[in-house]
Amino acid sequence: MRLRLILVVLAAFGIGAVIALGALTYDRTSGGRDVVATGKPLVGGPFTLTDHTGKRVTEKDFQGRHMLVFFGFTYCPDVCPAELQVITSALDTLGKQASQVTPVFITVDPERDTVEQMAAYIKHFHKSFIGLTGTADEIRAAAKAYRVYYAKVKDESSSAGYTFDHSSIVFLMDKQGEYAAHFPPGTGPEKMAEGIRKRL
């Protein structure tokens, strides 16, 4: 269990490093001084998945609205429902502004998280949630685009015999599908709502 926790923490640190490296570049040609310039963070990209209604979707279907993206799985005992509830509360806090944001839950467990399972699960959270699933390869490609870590591990307490370790960062993408911000584990609803509001 301790090793699994360390791996998840390291994965979260790695994602943060990717974001930081993508956001900052250094130009040493200006009189020998370091000049910091913003660049494009290496988070997000093309994906093709199936939503909780059975419709095939790509990242282009979400353009024109901000997205809150979280990777997890419906059989997750604690982290996933807690994060989805934080997203729900943050959107409730935004009030009418929440209409500008689409919360998206992407499974890392397509074997169990069928279209029907995703549809039943997201009913417990904000009404605008979109649940996405797909083939193992499609999920792998989406997770790679978002630099999300996940790994299938044995779990004798589960009826399926396995569970997943995964990073639990919530990504805010802008109307063009580009990275806008991220919210690490432990971010409260008020702080998340404030961070979203600043970028609308």
Query: Would you say residue 11 lies in a domain?
Result: no
Question: If you average pLDDT over residues 2-9, what whole number do you get?
Answer: 44
Q: Which amino acid, one-letter code, is at 126?
A: H
Query: What is the extent of the structural domain holding 131?
Result: 42-197
Residue 31 domain-assigned (yes or no) = no
State pTM to two decimals. 0.81
Burial 82-121 (b: 16+ CB within 10 A, else e): ebbebbbbbbebbeeebeebbbbbbbbbbeebbbebbeeb
The per-residue pLDDT of the chain, averaged, comes to 85
Domain with 59 in it: what CATH number?
Answer: 3.40.30.10
Q: What is the pLDDT of residues 165-195, one digit of tens each?
A: 999 999 999 999 999 999 999 999 999 999 9
**Per the structure, how many domains does the chain have?**
1
